[in-house]
Every structure is written in C-alpha cells, then in structure tokens.
Homo-oligomer: A and B are copies of this chain.
C-alpha cells in the first residue's frame, strides 16, 4: 500500500474550495472574452530550445526539464514564452492586433515556502501588434483588469501605473546612463531600505545631490493630477522623458475614458517592474488595506515580443494575474465571498419504495434545466440529510407515501428549515 500524497508545492483543494476557485477563474475568463480576447491553449511541454532561447538566468534553473527518447522537454514556466513562440510560428495565420487570453498552469521548481507554488495558474491577456501597436491598448489592458476586479467584488484596488521611458529619461537628465543598474537599485528600495540604496549609488560615484534628486523623484506622492503637474513643472528637456510623460498622460486619460475610476488609478513613479522586458507603460495592482499581499496583477508594454523566434517586430502590452497565489492570499485574509459553495441547487430524497417517483421528478426537473440530483443509497433519513448538509444544497425535496398519493412535493429550505407542500408547477417556480 502506498501512502496517498502529492508532491510538495502543489495547491490541491477540497471540493468546496475548488468551487470557489473555479468561480473566480470563470469570472476572469468571462471578462477576458467580453473584451474580445481570443482563447489560446498551448502544450504544457515545450521544446527546451524554445524555453531557453533567451539564455540562462534564475528562471531557467527553475524549469522542470527532462528527456524522453531523443526529445528535450521542459514544462513552461510562464505563458509569455509560449505566446511569443505561437505568434512567431503562426504569424501569417493571425489577425493583428492579436488579442489573446490564456488561463492555465505554469511550472517553476522554486524553493518550497508557504504561499509559493511550483504549479500555479496564470491568467494572461496580451495585445500584440504587427510592427506597430497603438498606445490606446496600454489603457485597454488595465480596463479589462478593472472589470475583472469589480466583477470579483473588489472595489478597493489600485492600479499603480508608471512609464519606463519617463524613468529612463529622468535618469538620463541626471546623467545616470546605466538605466539597468539604476532601475535594479531603486527596485530594491523596499527590500534593503533607503540607506543601503544610497550606499550602492555612492559606490558607483553618483554624487549626493543627484541621489537626493532621484530619491525625491521616485518618492513623489499626490493625486494623479498633482503628479502630472509636478512632472510637467520639472521642465526637463529630455526627449525620452517628454515622450514618457506624454505617454503616461495619454494612457491615464484613456484609462478613465474606458471606465476606470480615478480612485482606482495611482500614478506611482517608484514602480519599475524590476529587470523585466518592459519598455513603456508598467503596471502593478494592490488591494487597498491589504498592501502586504503585494501586486496581484502586473504587466506592461514591450517593444518586441518574439525576437528569439522571428524577424517580425511584434510590440505588445499585457497584464497577468497569478491566480493560485491570489486565491491562497484571499483565503488567508478571509476575503473569499462565497460562504456556502455548492453546485447542486436541490436534492431529491425518496423514501424506500418511492425511488421511481423520485427519478420521474428528477428527470422532469432536469428537462427544465434545474441543477438537481437524487439520493438513492437508502439508509436512515438522518444519513440522507447529512449528505444534503455537506453538499450545502439550498433545497431538498422529500417524496414518500403522502406526497405520492396526493401528487405533491415537500420542499425544505435547508437554511431556514422551513418546509412546504407544493404542487409540481409551484415547485418549478420555487426552484
């Protein structure tokens, strides 16, 4: 006998939680479709040469890589590499701008720790252009996520929004030409603290005045219009900065035009998205009051998606929700709404000898598209109600001698305990 267990780092849920998880996943998918994103479903296994095309790094060490026969196989570690490979592979068959969603599992052999998973769902949307892609799309992407979060019942979320060109232009205006170093260092602010960040710049011979200007810039607080005014008033004559500011401002205006409330947007000059491949707009998303959860939905604009696989220039913009981690955190924070998850709306319990009557009713109700099941295992009434209770089923219908002889049904509201005797027509209306 083998002890039944799963590998560490996997999320596996009991049915009650799984119902809630799937409800969230369904709302996300429904919203992605509403906004005209096309479904994609790529293999979990990719060729290693595809996964490793961009070279080594931390992620490639985490890939589940193996061989079978002569095939060198890896499990995908995100949904972006498969998208890049897909768009390059089927380029001539696709309709650009190509809007796709992809909700599925990805795999990373990370160090095992609470709330981090080795198999987890990502929910990605991207819009990929052929050669060029209008800046309107940078507003459309968060507009989709805005509706996702509203549909999930969250109202206290904020899109933290910034622009890489604006940042790099500002760095340039200060004479900080090593954008990568500067981005990486300010990205560490939360982790290592302001004094250590300053020290890293000093070690690079950046003078104190410049460091102070930089830190003042990224710490700018205020309403969105205050920050936009502040940026305009800086009066920096740097092409990159001006382009970034104009983009930031245009995207902000269009986010509002697309229905995002101003209170759900926060222009945040300290958002960099680390060393990712983003080149313009960058986004993170926080739940106000639950900032410690971290960003629940991130993304940005990139200049060229599939340079490793094609000569076609494919700019795009996208965002992604890490659903498995989000679900874990919502559960930990007691923010899951459904208190009584169930699938079946009604359970029929026939008394011994009235099984056929029960099946007859069951079949009629199903023909009327009711979500109903029947308990036919026999046993005591207590056992049968115990089954109904554990199912969280809102209604049960008892069929016994009295009901059969009078052609009625006893329906019980499982929450209130209230019981009624009704005709078939009343029953249909009731359910």
Binding site for B on A (CB under 8 A): 1-8, 10, 12-15, 18-19, 21-22, 33-47, 49-50, 53, 64, 66-69, 71, 73, 85-86, 88-90, 93-97, 99-100, 105, 107, 109, 119, 129, 132-134, 136-137, 147, 254, 257-259, 306, 308-311, 343-344, 355-356, 359-360, 362-363, 366-367, 369, 371-374, 376-378, 387, 390-391
Q: How far is the CB of A213 from chain B (nearest CB, A)?
A: 37
Determine the residue in chain B with the shortest Cβ distance to A13: B41
**The residue from B47, B49, B363, B371 contacting A33, defined by CB atoms under 8 A apart:** B371
Asked if B45 and A360 sit within 8 Å, CB to CB, the answer is no
A359/B258 contact (C-beta < 8 A), A310-B4, A373-B99 known: yes
Determine the residue in chain B with the shortest Cβ distance to A38: B15
A45 to B38, CA, bound (A): 28
Asked if A10 and B43 sit within 8 Å, CB to CB, the answer is yes
Most buried by B among A4, A105, A147: A4
Residues of B within 8 A of A86 (CB): 4, 12
A49 to B7, CA, bound (A): 11
Asked if A18 and B36 sit within 8 Å, CB to CB, the answer is no
Asked if B14 and A44 sit within 8 Å, CB to CB, the answer is no
Determine the residue in chain B with the shortest Cβ distance to A388: B95
Asked if A257 and B356 sit within 8 Å, CB to CB, the answer is yes
Residues of B within 8 A of A105 (CB): 44
Residues of B within 8 A of A136 (CB): 355, 359, 374, 376
Residues of B within 8 A of A2 (CB): 49-50, 53, 308-309
Q: List 5 A-B contacts (CB under 8 A).
A: A2-B49, A2-B309, A22-B41, A129-B377, A257-B360
A88 to B397, CA, bound (A): 31
Residues of B within 8 A of A94 (CB): 14-15
**The residue from B1, B43, B89, B360 contacting A308, defined by CB atoms under 8 A apart:** B1
Asked if B369 and A34 sit within 8 Å, CB to CB, the answer is yes
Asked if B44 and A44 sit within 8 Å, CB to CB, the answer is yes
Residues of B within 8 A of A53 (CB): 2
Asked if B4 and A89 sit within 8 Å, CB to CB, the answer is yes
**The residue from B14, B344, B360 contacting A90, defined by CB atoms under 8 A apart:** B14
Asked if B343 and A37 sit within 8 Å, CB to CB, the answer is yes
Asked if B15 and A100 sit within 8 Å, CB to CB, the answer is yes
> Which 6 A-B pairs give the minimum distances between C-beta atoms?
A66-B66, A36-B373, A4-B89, A36-B344, A95-B390, A4-B88
Q: How far is the CB of A297 from chain B (nearest CB, A)?
A: 19
A306 to B109, CA, bound (A): 29
Asked if A50 and B1 sit within 8 Å, CB to CB, the answer is no
Asked if A45 and B13 sit within 8 Å, CB to CB, the answer is no
Determine the residue in chain B with the shortest Cβ distance to A345: B36
A363 to B344, CA, bound (A): 36
A95/B133 contact (C-beta < 8 A), A15-B40, A258-B362 known: no
Given contacts A5-B50, A6-B47, A18-B38, 8 further A-B contacts (CB under 8 A): A1-B308, A7-B43, A12-B86, A44-B119, A64-B73, A132-B377, A137-B376, A258-B362
